[in-house]
Structure 1
Amino acid sequence: MNVKRTFGTILTVLGIAGLLYTGYLLMQKSEAYTNMAVVGVIGLIFFFAGIGLVQNTKDES
């Protein structure tokens, strides 16, 4: 079991969850713009970091 690949998958899933939550807040026309911006940016960072970890980790079986 590759720890980097697993951690990358977890980061990707957390990023997707953050982006979905941001989309939900946008659809509800929430006035918490600071909250939306923070969650959206952190979601993007997690998503792209997770994708990068999964892509750049070699399988060594």
Structure 2
Amino acid sequence: MNVKRIFGTILTILGIIGLIYTGIVIIQREGNAINLTVIGAISLIFFLTGISLVRNTKDEA
């Protein structure tokens, strides 16, 4: 497996975890709005970057 694909997978998983965390905290109405915005934005960046790395990396045998 390619290093870029592994890194993309890790970024995608971290992004999903961050987005789920942000959603849970928003539903429970806890936490500071600025902190949630920063965590949500970083998680979204991680998620989109990871998906992009996995999608655009070609498998070479």
* TM-score > 0.5, shorter chain as reference: yes
- TM superposition score category, shorter chain reference: over 0.9
Cα root mean square deviation, aligned: 0.7
Query: How many residue pairs were aligned?
Result: 61
**Identity across matched positions, percent:** 61
Q: How far 1:36 moved relative to its partner?
A: 0.5
Structure 2's unaligned 5+ residue stretches are none
Tell me the residue number matched to 1:50: 50
- Structure 1 runs (4+) greater than 3 angstroms displaced: none
Structure 1's unaligned 5+ residue stretches are none
Q: How far 1:30 moved relative to its partner?
A: 1.5
Task: Find the aligned partners of 2:38 and 2:59 in 1 and give their Cα distance.
Answer: 34
State the TM-score, normalizing by the size of structure 2. 0.95
State the TM-score, normalizing by the size of structure 1. 0.95
CA deviations on 1:2-61 (whole Å, 9 max, x unpaired) are 100000000000000010010011011014111100110000000000000000000001
